[in-house]
A = this chain, B = another copy of it.
């Protein structure tokens, strides 16, 4: 029986340790603060024993209050159910731990109201810095926060905000996609993404796509938005196949899922007369149909880079805001064979 009960002792404090060890609070503080060398060997040993025995854990809140640093990093993600976000979180989390920081994670659920709410909460907990995957709808709050806190953006830029940004080299990714498709002989490319809502990465991918298609004389390209009518719209586009072999390019994991489902409903197989290449590698890319060709983002590295970027700022760097673009890695699978 170990039921948690009202008998719960209040936490052991530094004073108790001090008393038990027969020293002053200051001495204990020095010990836990790592100034162990400045203590008499005997004292240090006694302290070690007492702390161990009492099960003392320094109260980070109190330390933070006094020293002005909490060793807490806040992270805001737009959608924790998106595998991309999770992978980035994982990268950030790992880097945090390695540097002695803890992560306070907030999920905005793609909701502006929640974004605002969480931003306030994070601030009130005195996080030392912020890693933000924002919606970008209302820069106000963010701009404001940025004046008080080091911050780095992930994947999504914010207009008017001069901040470090780490993400994918979207232009390159789209270029790789089109190169591959063209090489494979596809001439009619339909790109599909979530509706444009101001998210910079979506914009950039669409831009890059349009520009790149324009540069390719023999290729035709169109852009579709994910919505309730996707299956119909898609079918319509696919019917209009007077320009050569067709292929789909999905701009992220969400689009890939939606498109794959739509194709399934429509009863269209992958790879035979219709190519597909996806931005974002997913667990199941290799499993569905002949396998889906993907452009994998180095998500872990993106996460780690975001943290390191933040760390530099925390250490006082005043350098110009940087933009860290990572290259996507092409993984060729059966969904983009040479069309027959």
Contacts and interface: CB of A to CB of B under 8 A. Distances in A.
B162 A1 contact: yes
A80 B59 CA distance: 27
Most buried by B among A2, A83, A264: A2
Interface stretch (A20-28, A61-69, A180-188, A323-331): A61-69
**How many A residues touch the partner, as a band?**
35 or more
Nearest to A283: B257
A286 interface: yes
A306 interface: no
A312 to B, nearest CB: 12
A121 B102 contact: yes
A116 to B, nearest CB: 12
Nearest to A58: B124
Contacts of A1: 162
A318 interface: yes
A2 B104 contact: no
14 contacts: A2-B160, A3-B162, A3-B320, A4-B163, A60-B126, A61-B61, A61-B70, A80-B86, A80-B89, A81-B86, A93-B106, A104-B105, A282-B283, A288-B288
